[in-house]
Chains A and B, each alone.
Chain A
Amino acid sequence: MKAGDSTISYLELLKLASPETIVVITALAVLSIGLLSGRVKSTATVSTAKPAQDASDTSTTTGICSAIAALGLAIAIGTVLMLPRNATLFSGMLVITPLTSLFKIICIALAVFTVLLTTSEESLHHPGEYLALVLFATVGLMLLVGSEELLMIFIGLELLGLSLYVMTAFDKTDVRSAEAGLKYFLFGSTSSAFTLFGISLIYGLSGTTSLAAVSEKLATVSIQPLLAVGIVMTLIGFAFKIAAAPFHLWAPDAYQGAPVPSSAFIASASKVASFVVLGKIVLVGFAPLHGSAAWHAMVAGWSPVLAALAALSILLGNLVALAQSNVRRLLAYSAVAHAGYTLIGLVSGDRTGFSAALFYATIYAITLVGAFGVVAIVRRETGGDDFSNFAGLSSRSPLLAGCMSVFMLSLAGIPPLAGFFGKFYLFSVALRAGANQGLLWLVAVALLGSFISLYYYLMVLKAIFVDEPALASSRHVAVPPALLSRATVAVLAATVLLLGITPEILAAPILAAVP
């Protein structure tokens, strides 16, 4: 620890960590409001059966809590903007760079969208607690993004993970939700153990947990078995977080069983932050051990490991997604594939590769929040999220149908949507990275994967635009239209289209922010 660090005042620390602090305070506020109104409500339900009043109580609480949560997050974005450009605390435990600030904003914005989606969720009987969990998870994301120190990263991961496990299991009326939560927790805690073990090995070999110092130490040592084990185990923990095959097994259940906003949050913000951190760890911490994933010229290091994970994720995710008939499950498998595409950017292993991966992860997150928003509304109106529930959506709600096609086609990589540019960017960077187009094999696998993927995305759109709605499946209960969710979805769809037409507005800041 440098001398300058020890003299830092608590005021200074509080100032630099103000966004996190604000979100934590908001979370506590939301939690207490939820508790207060929850107590009133529970006495009411015990005494007499007044479901109607009960429901309206819950929705009022949801409204108040989400308004406060959104406000708190908005203030947090404001404070992130007011942070100094660069700062380092405690040898990298808390770092502020343009990159961390940018991705803190992106993560908070994704959390805001998640909060907006919760307003239309009826199955959440304790909105205060739920939103508090969302906010705690957001703090986890901000710590993850804003740290260049392995221990702090681990703490961020755990804070995020524990919040997400509970968010997944939050729907107590649905056995699937409980199953999903348990699976997610078991897989998650195992992979955390792997990560921690990996980190401890690396600490043992380098004597430090700060990424920059680790990198300096590793530059002087050759790859030895223990180091290889350490690196692979660290990577496994992140492969789990981003749901890369073969560590994706929790994803289909979590995406399908969890309350829809939880799925959206897991698929979007959690993924973006994980990619930021993974990128930092491999590109900063493990930089000397890059290795090479080029065809015929493989060199041991982390990049062949990531390349193998990427190829496997792309193939497995896309092929299994073909067989799904539930939209959320389909999105889960496609998420596996997209994690694979994004990894390609990291495999290329330079600044442009990292920024391409981050660009792709961001637009993917935006797209997926939107897609889950549509799923939430469809689920609310028809009581399910199978293909049959989407049948005839184009006549029920042209707006939602249009938005869903924007999201699906962007995922498939059809111009002029953001996904198309994202793929072009990623693949061109990957091809340029290896000498003599060494990564062509990976790009070919990815293109094959995206060819396969068009089929199942079109199947979703076929259900929406071509299939006649089956009368039995629709609930025909008049639910108040979820206006806020609809507006959110429309905004997200417009964003996806806008980022496809003028990708520069996101690509340039990311490229400028990546060191």
Chain B
Amino acid sequence: MIAWTIYITFAGAVLLLLLPRAFARWIALLTTVAGLALGLIALVRTPTADLTHFRTIVQVPWVPALGMNYHLAIDGVSLTMVLVTGISALSTVLFSWEVERRQNEFFFWLLLVVAGCYGVFLSADLFLFFAFYELVIVPKYFLIAVFGSTNKEYGAMKLTLYSFFGGMLVFVGILTGYVTAGSLDLSQLSQFQFSPQLQSWAFPVLFLGFGVLAGIWPLHTWAPTGHVAAPTAGSMLLAGIVMKLGAYAGLRVAMNLFPQGFQMWSKWIVLLAVVGIVYAAAVALRQHDLKFVIGYSSVSHMGFVLLGLGGATALSVSGAVLQMFSHGVIAALLFAVAGRMIYARTHTRELDVLAGLNLSRALPFAAFAFVVASAASMGIPGFSGFAAEITILIGAWKTYPLAAWITGAGMVLVAAFTLRALKQSFFGETEPGVHFQQGRVALDPDWNEQQSITLAEKCGACLLMITTVAIGLYPKLLLDRIMPAVEAMRFLK
């Protein structure tokens, strides 16, 4: 039944092309609600024991001559990713409720991205997987280039070309695997013994290709510019789900297909991850644009995911999966506050200007949401970020203690830039004599109407906040499903 997440989302996208504008946002809302509901039903109804291996849910021959099947499967890792996709997608639609221009087109591209992500997380056939993976790239271009803001055409093109470059490397890796093993089925491929010589070059090609989308340092530079250029929904989707595609694919495909290659290269993954965490955090500390801060923070947090994967223990990899979930939620919330709640009302994201506005008084709900998001992002206990990152660090400690040390120190930087952004954006000193209303009018002469936080935005923010707290308090809910699935994977043996 979980397969219906894909079909419903595609159907919603097609409906958007056919029905008039008045229905657009409701179709998008219903579609994403249905997606999330299906994910939750699967979470509740599927016994944990059924999630320990990649269990087939649909298998239909597609192009028998080439051994292609329409093959979907699910395990704990996939289910977790489907859930975060559902949550991010729903909140994204809620935060896009006010989009006025070319609404049908906007939600069409948005749903295509979401459908592609569901597809990637559930595919068990390499060709199908790759098709969904590449499908996500182009809608992002349109979302950003048509609906974006700052420097949108540059950001969109850069992001698309980076993704496609990664896709090219992935293509080489996938073809190599397919041609050598003569199969496209992921479970068959993960039984096949590739020669160590082949693994030694195919793994890095494949993993690096996926790493581009995961924001691996030094191929991360598309992420900050892309996030800044994107509309709020675009940033939320990008940081919330799309970057996870890369990490998930690295785990599901690259590491499972080429375990010996992974053994050979894991220390380099860890090195890049640690550099990414510290470097991106340091860069974020110096940014003036709030979205750039969050964009770099995404790179930094994705560094944790890569560290977890590179740590190569069941615990660290499970932590990485949990971090994908957690960061998907937190990043979506951060971008929602910055892009939708702040920027749409003040028309600025400059931290220095925001500091003069003291937004916490004008937008208390936004301030509250941002505090929660920042706390979760910094890794305060009780939020999902902490649960995930501590799992990663403990897991990686066994294999790469030095990396764990450096990362632990790097977390101070993460806290520093998060607190700086939080203070300047919401709790700045009000300049004497400048009232909030005046400040806002001075910034944007066209602005003439007081907008309070809308109901849709509140719902979206609450959904994300509740999720991060719930998983922070009870990470076992997901870890119980992730851990056995990770332990069943080949690269640990």
Contacts and interface: CB of A to CB of B under 8 A. Distances in A.
Interface string B162-185: 001100100110011011000000
A455 B164 CA distance: 10
Interface string B126-141: 0100111011011001
Contact of A454 (B130, B131, B160, B179): B160
B157 A428 contact: no
Contact of B160 (A425, A428, A440, A458): A458
Nearest to B167: A451
A47 to B, nearest CB: 52
A416 B153 contact: no
Interface stretch (A117-125, A169-177, A504-512): A504-512
Interface stretch (A12-20, A235-243, A441-449): A441-449
Contacts of B165: 451
Contact of B171 (A425, A427, A437, A508): A427
Interface size for chain B: under 10, 10 to 19, 20 to 34, or 35 or more residues?
20 to 34
Contacts of A454: 160-161, 164
Nearest to B135: A415
A466 B127 CA distance: 32
B132 A415 contact: yes
A416 B175 contact: no
Given A431-B179, A454-B164, A504-B62, A424 B127 contact: yes
Contacts of B134: 414-415, 420
Contact of A437 (B17, B64, B131, B176): B176
Given A465-B142, A466-B153, A427 B160 contact: no
Contacts of B415: none
A299 B395 CA distance: 52
A347 to B, nearest CB: 15
A425 B164 contact: no
A390 to B, nearest CB: 15
B129 to A, nearest CB: 11
A398 to B, nearest CB: 8
A466 B157 contact: no
Contacts of A432: 179
Interface in A406-446: 409, 414-416, 420-421, 424-425, 427-428, 431-432, 437, 440, 443-444
Contacts of A450: 168
Given A409-B138, A427-B175, A455-B157, A447 B132 contact: no
Given A454-B164, A465-B142, A414 B135 contact: yes
Nearest to B132: A415
Interface in B56-103: 62-66
A458 B175 contact: no
B8 interface: no
B146 interface: yes
A283 to B, nearest CB: 19
A451 B172 contact: no
B338 interface: no
Given A416-B135, A451-B164, A504 B146 contact: no
A454 B135 CA distance: 13
Residue from B17, B145, B179 having most chain A Cβ neighbours under 10 A: B179
A503 interface: yes
Contact of B168 (A394, A448, A507): A448
B132 A428 contact: no
B459 to A, nearest CB: 31
Contact of A431 (B17, B160, B176): B176
Interface in B111-137: 127, 130-132, 134-135, 137
A379 interface: no
A447 B62 CA distance: 24
A466 B62 contact: no
Given A415-B131, A451-B168, A503 B63 contact: yes
A5 to B, nearest CB: 36
A414 B139 CA distance: 11
A366 to B, nearest CB: 18
Interface in A14-33: none
Contacts of A451: 161, 164-165, 168
A447 B171 contact: yes
B131 A428 contact: no
A465 B145 CA distance: 9
B172 A444 contact: yes
B127 A414 contact: no
Contacts of B132: 415
B369 to A, nearest CB: 32
B150 to A, nearest CB: 15
B164 to A, nearest CB: 5
A466 B64 CA distance: 40
A295 to B, nearest CB: 14
Contacts of A217: none
A431 B135 contact: no
A447 B179 CA distance: 16
A461 B176 CA distance: 32
B135 A504 contact: no
B197 to A, nearest CB: 10
A428 B164 contact: no
Contact of A462 (B137, B153, B172, B179): B153
A504 B161 contact: no
Contact of B172 (A394, A443, A503): A443
A466 B145 contact: yes
Nearest to B202: A437
Given A444-B172, A447-B168, A503-B63, A462 B138 contact: no
Interface in A373-414: 394, 402, 409, 414
Contacts of A465: 142, 145-146
Given A414-B137, A451-B165, A462 B145 contact: yes
Nearest to A427: B175
Interface in B20-37: none
Contacts of A416: 131, 135
Nearest to B116: A415
Interface string A288-310: 00000000000000000000000
B161 to A, nearest CB: 6
B145 A420 contact: no
A508 B62 CA distance: 12
Contact of B179 (A421, A437, A507): A437
B301 to A, nearest CB: 28
A428 B172 CA distance: 9
A406 to B, nearest CB: 11
Contact of B161 (A394, A437, A455, A503): A455
A443 B172 CA distance: 8
B450 to A, nearest CB: 31
B176 A511 contact: no
B486 to A, nearest CB: 29
A436 B172 CA distance: 14
Contacts of A507: 63, 65-66
Contacts of B138: 409, 414
Contact of B63 (A402, A458, A504): A504
Interface in A494-515: 503-504, 507-508, 511
Contacts of B17: 402
A158 B193 CA distance: 54
Contacts of A427: 171, 175
- Sorted from nearest, which 6 A-B pairs have the closest CB atoms? A415-B131, A431-B179, A447-B168, A432-B179, A451-B168, A415-B135
Interface of A: 394, 402, 409, 414-416, 420-421, 424-425, 427-428, 431-432, 437, 440, 443-444, 447-448, 450-451, 454-455, 458, 461-462, 465-466, 503-504, 507-508, 511
Given A420-B131, A458-B160, A511-B65, 18 more contacts: A394-B105, A414-B134, A415-B130, A415-B132, A415-B134, A428-B179, A431-B176, A443-B172, A443-B175, A448-B168, A451-B161, A454-B161, A455-B157, A458-B141, A461-B141, A466-B146, A466-B153, A503-B63
9 contacts: A425-B66, A432-B179, A455-B157, A455-B161, A461-B142, A465-B145, A466-B145, A504-B62, A504-B65
